[in-house]
Amino acid sequence: MKKPEFYVSMSPHLHSGDSLKKMHFETILALFPAIFAGWLFYGGSALLIIALSAVTAVLTEFLWQKAIGREIRIGDGSALITGILLGLILTSENPWWIPVLGAFVAIVVGKQLFGGLGSHPFNSAVVGWAFLQLSYKGILTNFPLPDPKFLLQPGEFLSDPALITLKDSGVEEIVDLPWKDLFLGNVPAEIGTACVLAILLGGAYLLYRRRITWHIPFSFIASAWVFALIFQQIDPETYASPTFHILSGWMLLGAFFLAPEKGTCPVTAPGMILYGIGCGVITMIIRLWGSYVEGVPFAILLMNAATPLLDRIKPRTVGRIKEIA
């Protein structure tokens, strides 16, 4: 008998070549339009916020993994994405320690305490934001006026974020707000949520690369739209139009980037659709009747908690049929 000379392993003997690095790189690429729009409308301070948050996130992950003796995995890019996303959901006028603190909490509490990538139940960037929101509410509601391009006038229609205006002054204030303003970003907002167009570009890229599927974004947006439409039909004096709700606030950033974060959302098609519907409906409930202005982050956190349950809904296995001849 000759001694074995070749590698043996079980099939398959091929791999698609996909990796976490590629996946996260493409996600960062998809976030670029939003980052660019943030810089265009809010200037260099927006980039500074994103950079502070991103660097802190990566650094925190590095130090944490070093401290508890784990393999250093900052190279896979997941901490970077958490940092960038956190930066995008903050406003550009914040003291420097806000993004730093938020990113630290996002990584440590939102991710590493649960065991790191894939084990954390909640979207870590939203956890960081929620911590800041609960602790420093006054600072976070400091919305600067954008410096809009595309022949739009700053503050022409709104000088406060659209949803805050709606909450404070009622439907009359926003009823003749042109959708172009919301779509392109001529309203005060967070860095990454200002320009709907930029988010759509990034989302389309993710869909094209099949990094996300249509299930969560579509069911999220569609359910919110339908929910808002029902109440607008009942009482147009009190409730804003559904399209206004879709185009304002975190809705699209949430639907394309925050809600479908890998590991925190369900993986089966029916689970993802229910998750999206849950996100959409809870968002609208908070927006219409809640004390908070923006419902998206809380909707996502709540549905994140429901993910293990939704994961139990699976399609019927092929060949799982009752009658056997």
**Cα distance from N-terminal residue to C-terminal residue, the chain:** 48
Closer to another protein by Cβ: residue 12 or 138:
12
Alpha-carbon distance 78 to 261, whole Å?
Answer: 10
Compute the least distance from the CB of residue 325 to another protein, in Å.
5
d(CA 256, CA 85): 12
d(CA 101, CA 110): 13
Which is nearest to 19 in space by CA: 73, 82, 94?
A: 73
Binding span for another protein by CB under 8 A among 56-64, 101-109, 189-197, 313-321: 313-321
**What is the maximum alpha-carbon separation in the chain?**
88
Minimum distance from CB of 281 to another protein (Å)? 22
Counting contacts by CB under 8 A, is residue 317 touching another protein?
A: yes
List of long-range contacts for 162-165, beta carbons under 8 Å, 24+ apart? 162/187, 162/189, 162/244, 162/248, 162/249, 163/248, 163/249, 163/287, 163/293, 163/294, 164/293
Q: Is 16 in the site for another protein (CB under 8 A)?
A: yes
Distance CA 21, CA 73 (A): 10
Q: Interface residues for another protein in 254-293 (CB under 8 A)? A: 262-263, 265-268
d(CA 99, CA 104): 8
Enumerate residues 104-133 that contact another protein by CB under 8 A. Answer: 115-119
Least distance (Å) between residue 88 CB and another protein: 21
Exactly one of 11, 153, 234, 289 binds another protein (CB under 8 A); which one? 11
Q: Return the closest-CA partner of residue 242 out of 182, 184, 290.
A: 182
Residue 193 vs 307, nearer CB to another protein: 307
Q: How many residues does the chain have?
A: 325
Q: Which is nearer to another protein, 117 or 296 (CB)?
A: 117
Which 199-258 residues touch another protein, going by CB under 8 A?
Answer: 213
b/e 126-146 (16+ beta carbons within 10 angstroms → b): bbbbbbbbeebeebbeebbeb
Q: Kindly indicate which of the ranges 36-44, 154-162, 232-240, 312-320 contains the residues binding another protein, using the contact rule CB under 8 A.
A: 312-320
Task: Give min distance, CB of 238 to another protein, in A.
Answer: 39
Q: Is 68 a binder of another protein (CB under 8 A)?
A: no
- The footprint of another protein on this chain (CB under 8 A) covers a number of residues equal to 42
Q: Which residues, numbered 127-186, are part of the site for another protein (CB under 8 A)?
A: none
Interface residues toward another protein, by CB under 8 A: 2, 4-16, 18-20, 22-23, 115-119, 213, 262-263, 265-268, 311, 314-321, 324-325
